Amino acid sequence: MGKPRALITGITGMVGSHLAEYLLEHTDWDIHGMYRWRSPLANIQSLVPYINRKERVFLHYADLRDDQSVRDLVKKVRPDYVFHLAAQSFPKTSFTAPLDTYETNIQGTTRVLEALKDYSTDAVIHVCASSEVFGRVPKEKLPIDEECSFHPASPYAISKVGTDLVGRYYAEAFGMTTLMTRMFTHTGPRRGDVFAESSFAKQIAMIEQGLMPPVVKVGNLDSLRTIADVRDAVRAYYMLVTQSPVPGAYYNIGGTYVCKIGDVLDKLIAISTRAKEIKVEVDPDRLRPIDADLQVPNTDKFTAHTGWKPEIPFDQTMADLLDYWRGQVASNGDAFVVR
């Protein structure tokens, strides 16, 4: 028997890259990452020495929209653990590209699970859905538990409802060990600049460097969110697949710091070197047609099963996020577009 093999789809994303680093440090597993030929590799620079030596970390080209590439990858790797993170993950984009979102997220998940059914039936599989599946939740149902009804508020959220249900179907129909997560807002270094708090941090970093006027463009600041750190999130995902996994189980995972998006902005501005100068301006293009505006989880089920709890405080997450963008702007600021 060789070392366990983990497959991370979307290894070049924020979560995938942090998960790979976590597994590298805390396990002896070989880590196989799925990426597209055009995927930016900046997030996995810490893994490059291992990749170049062909030691513990291995990259494989495949695309969720191409069945043969997914089947070839799974047949080659035959993973023991799978973290299916790859997705079209930006809700706002899904309003303009709904069919692409459904194809990537629902059919892409089906392709991954079909390949695993044929070539790696004993794998423990994490299917990453999203807290967005709950959508527009009445206040009386807060905090949101796993049995709260779905009321998705975007094509992205609809696609993640499909992802969640596809994962459960493969557990019930074929006896596969699939586990579904509805992760609430998680952020930190490497968060894409299309997401609110990361866009704020990027703009602030650009303001500090004198690359744009001291005005931060924002969308809806009144949405209520529960914030977790991405590094706590990937630790949760590891515990999910290693601590007595229950086929077909589904869990809410999230932080404990509840605030409005406006409070996140206030924190980032407060720790800026130009805090006193920065103004805020609502940009209509940043507003969604409808919004999932009450995202507060009940995570008792997952905590009871694994003992996981978040460890990184909100203030550290925000400081690390801003420092990340300061580094990015210092290196590439002249090439950046505000998004």
Number of domains in the chain: 2
Q: Enter the DSSP assignment of 142.
A: P
CATH number for 211:
3.90.25.10
Residue 211 domain boundaries: 196-225+257-296+312-335
Cis peptide bond prior to 143, omega within 30° of 0: yes
264 and 175: one domain? no
Q: In the structure encoding, which two tokens stand for residue 36, read together? A: 């597209």
In contact, 54 and 47? CB cutoff 8 Å: no
User: Burial level of 248, CB count in 10 A (0-12/13-18/19+)?
Assistant: middle
Q: Average pLDDT of 4-32? A: 98
Q: Do the domain assignments include residue 207?
A: yes
What percentage of residues in the chain have a pLDDT greater than 70?
Answer: 100
Coil, strand or helix: which one is 191?
Answer: coil
Task: Give the Cα separation of 228 and 230 in Å (integer).
Answer: 6
Burial of 285 (0-12, 13-18, 19+ CB in 10 A): exposed
Co-location of 88 and 103 in the same domain: yes
Do residues 97 and 165 both lie within one domain? yes
Token pair of 259 as six digits: 């605030």
Domain assignment present for 25:
yes
Report DSSP state, residue 334.
G
The per-residue pLDDT for range 201-218, each reduced to its tens digit, is: 999 999 999 999 999 999
**171, 217: one domain:** no
Whether residues 16 and 145 share a domain: the answer is yes
Residues 160 and 268 occupy one common structural domain: no
Alpha-carbon distance 192 to 90, whole Å?
9
Which helix (H) or strand (E) segment holds residue 317: the answer is helix 314-332
Q: What's the predicted TM-score (pTM) here?
A: 0.97
Residues 221, 116 share a domain = no
Length of the chain in residues, anyone? 339
- Dihedral sign for Cα atoms in the order 224, 229, 232, 236: positive
Is 161 among the domain residues? yes
Residue 111 CA from chain centroid, whole number:
20
DSSP state for residue 192 in the 8-state scheme? -
Cα gap 255→139, rounded to integer Å? 19
286 and 245 in a common domain: no
Q: How large is the average pLDDT for residues 95-103?
A: 97
For residues 126 and 187, give the distance between their C-alpha atoms in angstroms, rounded to a whole number.
19
* Secondary structure, 3-state, 247-314: CCCEEEECCCEEEEHHHHHHHHHHCCCCCCCCEEEECHHHCCCCCCCEECECCHHHHHHHCCCCCCCH
Q: What is the pLDDT of residue 1?
A: 63
Q: Are residues 167 and 261 in the same domain?
A: no
Q: How many Å apart are CA 322 and CA 268, to the nearest integer?
A: 7
Residue 336 or 282, more confident: 282
Same domain, 165 and 33: yes
Residue 43 lies in a domain: yes
Task: Look at residues 249, 88, 105, 117 and name the one whose alpha carbon lies nearest to residue 176.
Answer: 117
Unique residue bearing structure tokens 């995938």 = 16
- List pLDDT tens digits, range 281-293: 999 999 888 887 8
Task: Check which CATH number belongs to the domain holding 31 and give it.
Answer: 3.40.50.720
Q: Are residues 25 and 99 in the same domain?
A: yes
Mean pLDDT of 261-265: 98
Q: Is residue 302 part of a domain?
A: no
Q: Encoding tokens for residue 187? A: 């952020």
Q: Each residue of 53-97: pLDDT tens digit?
A: 999 999 999 999 999 999 999 999 999 999 999 999 999 899 999
